[in-house]
Protein backbone atom coordinates (compact mmCIF):
# COMPACT_ATOMS: atom_id res chain seq x y z
CA UNK A 1 0.00 0.00 0.00
CA UNK A 2 2.91 2.36 0.59
CA UNK A 3 3.62 2.62 -3.13
CA UNK A 4 0.04 3.82 -3.69
CA UNK A 5 0.43 6.52 -1.06
CA UNK A 6 3.75 7.55 -2.61
CA UNK A 7 2.00 7.92 -5.98
CA UNK A 8 -0.69 10.08 -4.35
CA UNK A 9 2.01 12.32 -2.92
CA UNK A 10 3.75 12.61 -6.25
CA UNK A 11 0.50 13.37 -8.09
CA UNK A 12 -0.56 16.05 -5.60
CA UNK A 13 2.87 17.65 -5.38
CA UNK A 14 5.03 18.98 -2.58
CA UNK A 15 3.84 21.62 -0.08
CA UNK A 16 3.75 25.24 -1.22
CA UNK A 17 1.44 24.01 -3.99
CA UNK A 18 -0.42 26.38 -6.23
CA UNK A 19 -3.59 25.71 -8.18
CA UNK A 20 -5.34 27.46 -11.00
CA UNK A 21 -8.27 29.67 -10.10
CA UNK A 22 -10.65 27.25 -11.82
CA UNK A 23 -9.28 24.20 -9.97
CA UNK A 24 -9.41 25.91 -6.58
CA UNK A 25 -12.92 27.27 -6.90
CA UNK A 26 -14.53 24.38 -8.73
CA UNK A 27 -13.03 20.94 -8.17
CA UNK A 28 -11.11 21.57 -4.93
CA UNK A 29 -13.85 23.70 -3.38
CA UNK A 30 -15.82 22.27 -0.45
CA UNK A 31 -19.23 23.88 0.02
CA UNK A 32 -20.09 25.20 3.46
CA UNK A 33 -23.73 24.29 2.82
CA UNK A 34 -25.64 23.86 6.07
CA UNK A 35 -22.60 24.65 8.26
CA UNK A 36 -23.26 27.85 10.17
CA UNK A 37 -20.48 30.19 11.23
CA UNK A 38 -21.27 29.35 14.85
CA UNK A 39 -20.48 25.67 14.16
CA UNK A 40 -16.89 24.85 15.14
CA UNK A 41 -16.59 23.05 11.80
CA UNK A 42 -16.15 26.57 10.38
CA UNK A 43 -12.48 26.19 11.36
CA UNK A 44 -12.18 23.64 8.56
CA UNK A 45 -13.51 26.07 5.97
CA UNK A 46 -11.41 28.96 7.28
CA UNK A 47 -8.20 26.90 7.02
CA UNK A 48 -8.96 24.85 3.90
CA UNK A 49 -6.90 26.93 1.44
CA UNK A 50 -3.85 26.70 3.71
CA UNK A 51 -4.40 22.95 4.01
CA UNK A 52 -4.42 22.51 0.23
CA UNK A 53 -1.22 24.53 -0.07
CA UNK A 54 0.78 23.11 2.87
CA UNK A 55 -0.91 19.85 3.87
CA UNK A 56 0.81 16.46 3.89
CA UNK A 57 -0.65 13.38 2.22
CA UNK A 58 -1.03 10.45 4.64
CA UNK A 59 -3.33 7.49 5.15
CA UNK A 60 -6.50 8.28 7.05
CA UNK A 61 -9.26 6.00 8.28
CA UNK A 62 -12.88 6.93 8.84
CA UNK A 63 -13.89 6.37 12.47
CA UNK A 64 -17.48 7.40 11.85
CA UNK A 65 -19.30 9.47 9.28
CA UNK A 66 -22.83 10.47 8.43
CA UNK A 67 -24.46 7.31 7.08
CA UNK A 68 -25.60 9.14 3.93
CA UNK A 69 -21.98 9.25 2.74
CA UNK A 70 -21.97 5.47 2.32
CA UNK A 71 -24.81 5.73 -0.19
CA UNK A 72 -25.24 7.52 -3.49
CA UNK A 73 -26.87 10.90 -3.47
CA UNK A 74 -26.10 14.55 -2.95
CA UNK A 75 -24.86 16.64 -0.07
CA UNK A 76 -21.52 16.77 1.73
CA UNK A 77 -21.41 15.53 5.32
CA UNK A 78 -19.01 15.53 8.27
CA UNK A 79 -16.95 12.58 9.43
CA UNK A 80 -14.29 11.70 11.98
CA UNK A 81 -10.91 10.63 10.61
CA UNK A 82 -7.97 9.08 12.48
CA UNK A 83 -4.52 9.64 11.00
CA UNK A 84 -0.83 9.48 11.96
CA UNK A 85 0.48 12.50 13.85
CA UNK A 86 3.79 12.47 11.97
CA UNK A 87 3.52 12.21 8.19
CA UNK A 88 7.07 11.01 7.66
CA UNK A 89 6.61 7.85 9.76
CA UNK A 90 5.37 4.92 7.59
CA UNK A 91 2.30 3.17 8.98
CA UNK A 92 0.50 -0.08 8.35
CA UNK A 93 -3.02 0.74 7.12
CA UNK A 94 -4.27 -2.40 8.89
CA UNK A 95 -3.06 -0.98 12.20
CA UNK A 96 -4.81 2.32 11.47
CA UNK A 97 -8.00 0.33 10.85
CA UNK A 98 -7.59 -1.30 14.27
CA UNK A 99 -7.20 2.10 15.89
CA UNK A 100 -10.36 3.35 14.17
CA UNK A 101 -12.25 0.27 15.38
CA UNK A 102 -11.09 0.77 18.97
CA UNK A 103 -12.15 4.40 18.83
CA UNK A 104 -15.58 3.56 17.44
CA UNK A 105 -16.11 0.90 20.11
CA UNK A 106 -15.88 3.60 22.79
CA UNK A 107 -19.29 4.86 21.72
CA UNK A 108 -21.24 2.07 23.37
CA UNK A 109 -18.97 0.81 26.13
CA UNK A 110 -17.77 2.32 29.37
CA UNK A 111 -18.09 4.28 31.56
CA UNK A 112 -14.67 5.81 31.07
CA UNK A 113 -12.60 8.54 32.64
CA UNK A 114 -9.93 10.91 31.37
CA UNK A 115 -9.03 10.82 27.67
CA UNK A 116 -11.22 7.84 26.90
CA UNK A 117 -14.26 9.61 28.32
CA UNK A 118 -13.50 12.71 26.23
CA UNK A 119 -13.26 10.63 23.07
CA UNK A 120 -16.44 8.67 23.86
CA UNK A 121 -18.34 11.89 24.59
CA UNK A 122 -17.10 13.41 21.34
CA UNK A 123 -18.11 10.44 19.20
CA UNK A 124 -21.55 10.31 20.80
CA UNK A 125 -22.24 13.99 20.05
CA UNK A 126 -22.73 14.49 16.31
CA UNK A 127 -22.37 18.27 16.69
CA UNK A 128 -19.06 18.20 18.57
CA UNK A 129 -15.94 18.93 16.48
CA UNK A 130 -12.27 18.20 17.17
CA UNK A 131 -9.09 19.03 15.29
CA UNK A 132 -6.07 16.98 16.28
CA UNK A 133 -7.52 15.17 19.30
CA UNK A 134 -4.68 12.90 20.50
CA UNK A 135 -5.42 9.18 20.53
CA UNK A 136 -3.99 7.59 23.71
CA UNK A 137 -1.33 4.90 23.42
CA UNK A 138 -3.67 2.24 24.79
CA UNK A 139 -5.82 2.65 21.67
CA UNK A 140 -2.98 3.28 19.25
CA UNK A 141 0.09 1.39 20.53
CA UNK A 142 1.90 1.05 17.20
CA UNK A 143 1.44 4.51 15.72
CA UNK A 144 1.15 7.97 17.24
CA UNK A 145 -2.20 9.18 15.95
CA UNK A 146 -4.91 11.79 16.32
CA UNK A 147 -8.49 12.35 15.22
CA UNK A 148 -10.08 15.30 13.43
CA UNK A 149 -13.53 16.21 12.17
CA UNK A 150 -13.70 16.87 8.44
CA UNK A 151 -16.28 17.88 5.91
CA UNK A 152 -16.25 15.11 3.32
CA UNK A 153 -17.00 16.36 -0.18
CA UNK A 154 -18.64 13.81 -2.46
CA UNK A 155 -16.98 15.28 -5.56
CA UNK A 156 -13.62 14.26 -4.10
CA UNK A 157 -14.55 10.58 -3.76
CA UNK A 158 -14.63 7.93 -6.48
CA UNK A 159 -18.31 7.16 -7.16
CA UNK A 160 -19.17 10.15 -4.91
CA UNK A 161 -19.56 8.00 -1.80
CA UNK A 162 -17.50 6.22 0.86
CA UNK A 163 -16.73 2.81 -0.62
CA UNK A 164 -13.98 2.04 1.90
CA UNK A 165 -13.02 3.65 5.24
CA UNK A 166 -9.30 3.74 4.40
CA UNK A 167 -8.29 6.57 2.08
CA UNK A 168 -5.50 9.03 1.40
CA UNK A 169 -6.07 12.35 3.13
CA UNK A 170 -4.44 15.76 3.32
CA UNK A 171 -3.44 16.59 6.91
CA UNK A 172 -2.29 19.94 8.23
CA UNK A 173 1.19 19.72 9.79
CA UNK A 174 0.32 22.47 12.28
CA UNK A 175 -2.54 23.65 14.46
CA UNK A 176 -5.41 23.42 13.87
CA UNK A 177 -4.83 19.88 12.59
CA UNK A 178 -7.57 19.89 9.98
CA UNK A 179 -7.85 17.11 7.40
CA UNK A 180 -9.76 16.30 4.23
CA UNK A 181 -9.82 13.38 1.79
CA UNK A 182 -7.28 13.76 -0.98
CA UNK A 183 -9.42 14.52 -4.05
CA UNK A 184 -9.53 11.40 -6.20
CA UNK A 185 -8.16 13.24 -9.25
CA UNK A 186 -4.77 12.73 -7.56
CA UNK A 187 -5.22 9.02 -6.81
CA UNK A 188 -3.46 6.46 -9.03
CA UNK A 189 -5.82 4.27 -11.06
CA UNK A 190 -4.75 1.20 -9.08
CA UNK A 191 -5.93 2.80 -5.85
CA UNK A 192 -9.25 3.93 -7.36
CA UNK A 193 -9.91 0.38 -8.55
CA UNK A 194 -9.00 -1.17 -5.21
CA UNK A 195 -11.01 1.38 -3.20
CA UNK A 196 -14.19 1.09 -5.24
CA UNK A 197 -14.20 -2.72 -5.04
CA UNK A 198 -14.07 -3.04 -1.25
pLDDT digits (tens, 9 = 90+) for 67-105: 999 988 888 999 999 999 999 888 999 999 999 999 999
Give 16-68 pLDDT, tens digit per residue. Answer: 999 998 898 889 988 888 889 899 999 999 999 999 999 999 999 999 999 99
pLDDT per residue as tens digits for the range 2-16: 999 999 999 999 999
Please check whether residue 115 lies inside any domain of the structure: yes
Q: Is the pTM of this model over 0.75?
A: yes
For residue 137, being part of any structural domain is answered with yes
Residue ranges making up the domain that contains 71:
2-6+39-196
Residue 98, in any domain of the structure: yes
User: Within 10 A of 27 (CB to CB), how many other CB atoms are there?
Assistant: 14
Asked if the structure places residue 16 within a domain, the reply is no
Is 187 domain-assigned? yes
Domain count, the chain: 1
Amino acid sequence: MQHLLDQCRENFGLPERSFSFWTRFSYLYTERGWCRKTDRLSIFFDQRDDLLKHGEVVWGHIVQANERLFEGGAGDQPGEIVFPSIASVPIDPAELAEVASRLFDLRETGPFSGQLAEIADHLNDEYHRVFGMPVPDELSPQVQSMMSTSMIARRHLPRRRLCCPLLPIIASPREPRIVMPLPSRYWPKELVHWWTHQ
